[in-house]
């Protein structure tokens, strides 16, 4: 992702994808071939495993630009994958098998060090997420934002859940990626930090304990980006369609803008226990939208759709600032009716007689065209 522009609440989106065999659905170690074919494209990079590939959008001023960027990059990767004899798939985990052990790790010093430090995690490390970056004026303000958005991370996960299948079976989870990714010793919700010094001290302590190789390797579900002047949300699965990724970007930007408003008004962070947020994330990962979630304030079990509705009301002030309300409402309504990526994966599975059919259906869904009524959403803000 390029350096953030001098605009409030700019957006950058990083998406991770799987490369799978068109016949078996097994992952293939083809990332280096795609990178060769796309030589000169700075927005595409290798990931931890050689069957993964990552894109990073330009810094975007609005959701229309986000949509164009993500559509362009998915198109480049899908075309390159076809030329390399495989398929590009947007799923949080491997639907089928393939080579997943140490021999599949990308041959780069950082990745070799991670594999050596955490050998028991390598086999399940090839999960794919969507990371949304929102530009903030300072690290101090970014810390205040993190402390205020933490209660709503379960709703983002419920909306984005897109990994129900692993190794040819239904896991029973909407996001199987979440429990896999959460095995990393620093995968946890952000805390309530008083300032940037407090935040930095927390990261240094985790690195000193051996739980991470460096601050960049601290896998908080939301954090200050170690590379860009942004707040980075990392809790979500990669989205099955571009529309859902645009929805996610709009919601995260509204979360950040709402948190900035709250801080400006002198409202303190909600005193929610980290353990309760963790339990709520597990419920969201297990059930997605259609099941019980956990109200992190009361601790009660509540239908997740009710919690998502409360979340959408919570971010109304931020949507008013960003001007994204109409687009977010349309896209959220689409997910409410059409289901999450996990729901649609299950429908595709039910309609597929073989792994070949399912892999091709997932690849087609990854490149689903934008609905005509959604093409015109713009970048305006009040």
| Nearest to 55, CA basis, from 38, 33, 111 | 38
The CATH code of the domain that includes 345 is 3.30.590.20
Contact 203, 218 (CB under 8 A): yes
Give the residue carrying structure tokens 């990261």.
203
In a domain, 5, yes or no: no
E strand map for the chain? 11-20, 44-46, 52-56, 87-89, 129-135, 165-166, 169-170, 222-224, 230-237, 292-294, 301-303
In the numeric block, the tokens 């050998």 are attached to: 119
2 Cβ neighbours under 8 A, 6+ residues apart: 12, 58, 59
CB 122 within 8 A of CB 55: no
- Do the domain assignments include residue 218? yes
Any domain includes 374:
no
pLDDT at 369: 59
Query: What are the structure tokens assigned to 306, written together?
Result: 């009710």
pLDDT at 173: 98
Distance between CA atoms of residues 2 and 336, nearest Å: 33
Would you state the pLDDT for residue 285? 98
Q: For residue 34, tell me if it sits in a domain.
A: yes
Burial (CB < 10 A; 0-12, 13-18, 19+), residue 315, is: buried
The answer to whether 263 and 318 are in contact (CB under 8 A) is no
For 309-353, how does the pLDDT look when each residue is reduced to its tens digit (9 = 90+)? 999 999 999 999 999 999 999 999 999 999 999 999 999 999 999
Asked whether residue 57 is assigned to any structural domain, the reply reads: yes
**CA-only gyration radius of the chain, Å:** 19
In the 8-state DSSP scheme, what is residue 3?
A: P
The answer to whether 18 and 91 have CB atoms below 8 angstroms apart is: yes
pLDDT at residue number 381: 37
What b-and-e string marks burial along 168-188, b requiring 16 or more CB atoms within 10 Å of the CB? eeebebbbbbbbbbbebbbbb
Could you report the per-residue pLDDT of 110-164, keeping only the tens digit for each?
999 999 999 999 988 899 999 999 999 999 999 999 999 999 999 999 999 999 9
Look up residue 182 and give its two tokens: 């959460």
Q: Residue 162 in 3-state DSSP? A: coil
Structure tokens at 29: 């170690």
Residue 80 lies in a domain: yes
- The total number of structural domains in the chain stands at 1
- Could you say which residues of the chain have pLDDT below 50? 1-6, 370-382
pLDDT value at residue 370 = 46
Range of the domain at 124: 11-369
**Residue 100 domain-assigned (yes or no):** yes
Under 8 Å between Cβ of 349 and 358 = yes
pTM of the model: 0.94
């Amino acid at each position: 992702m390029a350096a953030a522009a001098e605009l409030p609440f700019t957006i950058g989106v990083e998406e991770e994808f799987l490369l799978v065999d068109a016949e078996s659905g097994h992952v293939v170690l083809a990332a280096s071939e795609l990178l060769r074919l796309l030589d000169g494209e700075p927005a595409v990079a290798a990931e931890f495993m050689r069957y993964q590939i990552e894109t990073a959008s330009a810094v975007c001023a609005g959701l229309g630009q986000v949509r164009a960027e993500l559509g362009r990059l998915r198109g480049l990767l899908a075309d390159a994958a076809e030329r390399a004899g495989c398929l590009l798939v947007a799923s949080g985990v491997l639907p089928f098998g393939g080579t997943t052990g140490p021999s599949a790790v990308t041959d780069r010093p950082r990745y070799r060090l991670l594999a050596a430090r955490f050998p028991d995690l390598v086999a399940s490390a090839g999960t794919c997420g969507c990371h949304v970056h929102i530009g903030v004026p300072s690290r101090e303000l970014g810390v205040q934002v993190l402390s205020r958005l933490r209660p709503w991370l379960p709703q983002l996960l419920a909306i984005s859940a897109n990994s129900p299948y692993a190794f040819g079976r239904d896991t029973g989870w909407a996001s199987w990626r979440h429990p896999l990714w959460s095995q990393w010793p620093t995968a946890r919700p952000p805390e309530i930090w008083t300032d940037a010094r407090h935040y930095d001290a927390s990261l240094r302590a985790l690195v000193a304990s051996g739980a991470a190789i460096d601050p960049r390797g601290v896998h908080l579900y939301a954090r200050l980006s170690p590379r860009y002047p942004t707040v980075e949300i990392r809790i979500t699965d990669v989205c099955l369609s571009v529309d859902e990724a645009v929805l996610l970007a709009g919601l995260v930007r509204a979360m950040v803008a709402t948190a900035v408003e709250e801080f400006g008004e002198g409202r303190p962070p909600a005193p929610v226990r980290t353990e309760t947020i963790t339990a709520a994330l597990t419920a969201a990962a297990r059930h997605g939208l259609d099941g019980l979630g956990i109200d992190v304030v009361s601790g009660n079990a509540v239908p997740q759709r009710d919690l998502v509705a409360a979340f959408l009301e919570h971010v109304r002030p931020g949507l008013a600032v960003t001007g994204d309300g109409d687009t977010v409402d349309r896209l959220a309504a689409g997910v409410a009716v059409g289901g999450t990526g996990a729901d649609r994966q299950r429908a595709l599975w039910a309609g597929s007689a073989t792994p070949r059919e399912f892999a091709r259906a997932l690849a087609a869904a990854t490149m689903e065209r934008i609905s005509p009524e959604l093409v015109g959403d713009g970048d305006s803000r009040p």
